[in-house]
Amino acid sequence: MAEKEVKLMKGNEVIAYAAIRYGCDGYFGYPITPQSEVMETLMELKPWETTGMVVLQAESEISSINMVYGGASTGKRVMTSSSSPGISLMAEGLSYLAGAELPCLIINCQRGGPGLGTIQPSQGDYFQAVKGGGHGDYHLIVFAPNSVQEMHDHVAEAFDLAFKYRNPAMILADGAIGQMMEKVVLAPQRPRRTDAEIAAECGSWAALGKPADRKRNIVTSLELQSEKMEVINKRLQDKYKTLEENEVRYEALECDDAEYVIVAFGSSARICSATVEMARAEGLKVGLLRPITLYPFPTRQIADLAARGVKGFLSAELNAGQMVEDVRLAVNGLAPVEHYGRQGGMLFTPDEVLTALKEKLIKK
């Protein structure tokens, strides 16, 4: 079973393969374009007949996320997937998962909003993913894949980080990455964890059935005594600080000598990598800083570029300007930071980004 396989696959399809091969225990979901292939592929692959992974179509997104809460409470590796409006329905559950410190994986294959919006690709859920979405002081660990291969790889990486930090993790993809087909190398099949392995890893907190020799484990996000709740809040914040110090992932393309830097994530970063090629061909020193984790955000890496004397930053996003706020905070006034975006499900092309870069920054 340890062979590497090269396949041609959609981003959404590969999520299903990656989850099974990672040894995921359960998927709970509800269909919505443009991510329905995740559950469709799982249903075709029938992992319950091979690894024993549960795949269940719930009656709604609200049920899905609460089934995830239940599964995660027992130390199982469980996940759900949806697209923007469906993720909004899950917002309460996300906050509860973060509050109860439950590791799990949520996929958001974004479409244009607000409301029902459109079914075409968008990055309009950046704020929702990295700033909360649900209520209270919490963060999700957020990955932003820019290829079908990364859709595959991030499943394992996000699950690993989620369990390392006991925190829900999200893969923030979009309709373009989800619907696109590319070559992908699939990981070898890993066995699902045994009950003994789960007890060893999660026994200190998960609801596994109480043995005589320890106190009950209680999974909850409720604490009515303010003094105690503040202690919990501080512990969560300490965890987020550790995440920010240790788990930032990013890619710097042609940034070493760059005078101007495009900051972009996911599908738009992929488009902007061609913008960098075009700019370099014209003799313009342009680089690309691609956050791979949106939370924790590569604040220090962007600050370092600003301190080194980069003349301007362009945050290129498929939205009205969301990540640009975090880029501005990182640059902290050392250089101009502009935004370029398309909305409503429209994608920009590499040359449109180059034109925007010239008009907004280089010509000034």
Q: What are the E-state strand segments in 60-213?
A: 78-82, 104-110, 141-143, 168-174, 181-186
Confirm or reject binding of residue 183 to other proteins (CB under 8 A). yes
**Which lies closer to other proteins via its Cβ, residue 176 or residue 206?**
176
**Which lies closer to other proteins via its Cβ, residue 33 or residue 343?**
33
Q: What are the E-state strand segments in the chain?
A: 5-10, 26-29, 54-57, 78-82, 104-110, 141-143, 168-174, 181-186, 250-253, 260-263, 286-291, 293-295, 312-317, 337-341
Q: What is the CA radius of gyration of the chain?
A: 21
CB of 147 to other proteins, least distance (A): 9
Confirm or reject binding of residue 238 to other proteins (CB under 8 A). no
Query: Which one of residues 56, 58, 89, 180 is an interface residue with other proteins (CB under 8 A)?
Result: 180
Confirm or reject binding of residue 5 to other proteins (CB under 8 A). no
Q: Are 189 and 21 in contact (CB under 8 A)?
A: yes
Beta strands at 104-110 and 26-29: parallel, antiparallel or unpaired? unpaired
Question: Which residues, numbered 143-172, are part of the site for other proteins (CB under 8 A)?
Answer: none
CB of 57 to other proteins, least distance (A): 21
323 vs 321: CA distance, rounded Å: 6
Confirm or reject binding of residue 179 to other proteins (CB under 8 A). yes
Question: Which residues, numbered 28-67, are part of the site for other proteins (CB under 8 A)?
Answer: 33-34
Question: Which residues, numbered 316-355, are part of the site for other proteins (CB under 8 A)?
Answer: 347-352
CB of 348 to other proteins, least distance (A): 8
Q: Are 314 and 284 in contact (CB under 8 A)?
A: no
Question: Which residues, numbered 256-275, are part of the site for other proteins (CB under 8 A)?
Answer: 267, 270-275
Confirm or reject binding of residue 83 to other proteins (CB under 8 A). no
201 vs 114: CA distance, rounded Å: 40
Confirm or reject binding of residue 195 to other proteins (CB under 8 A). no
Dihedral angle at the C-alpha atoms of 174, 271, 186, 68, nearest 10 degrees? -20
Q: Which of 128, 182, 176, 130 is nearest to 342 (CA)?
A: 176
**Which lies closer to other proteins via its Cβ, residue 119 or residue 252?**
119
Q: Give the single-character DSSP code of 248.
A: -
Confirm or reject binding of residue 6 to other proteins (CB under 8 A). yes
CB of 324 to other proteins, least distance (A): 21
The H-or-E segment that residue 325 falls in is helix 323-331
Backbone angles phi, psi at 267, to 5 degrees: -60, -35
Confirm or reject binding of residue 307 to other proteins (CB under 8 A). no
**Which lies closer to other proteins via its Cβ, residue 147 or residue 293?**
147
**Which lies closer to other proteins via its Cβ, residue 181 or residue 200?**
181
**Which lies closer to other proteins via its Cβ, residue 37 or residue 61?**
37
Confirm or reject binding of residue 8 to other proteins (CB under 8 A). yes
343 vs 101: CA distance, rounded Å: 34
293 vs 154: CA distance, rounded Å: 10
Question: Which residues, numbered 13-32, are part of the site for other proteins (CB under 8 A)?
Answer: none
**Which lies closer to other proteins via its Cβ, residue 119 or residue 248?**
119
150 vs 177: CA distance, rounded Å: 10
CB of 338 to other proteins, least distance (A): 20
356 vs 278: CA distance, rounded Å: 13
Query: Which one of residues 92, 160, 182, 201 is an interface residue with other proteins (CB under 8 A)?
Result: 182
56 vs 80: CA distance, rounded Å: 10
Question: Which residues, numbered 103-132, are part of the site for other proteins (CB under 8 A)?
Answer: 119-120
CB of 8 to other proteins, least distance (A): 5
State the residues that interact with other proteins by CB under 8 A.
Answer: 6, 8, 33-34, 119-120, 175-176, 179-183, 267, 270-275, 277, 347-352
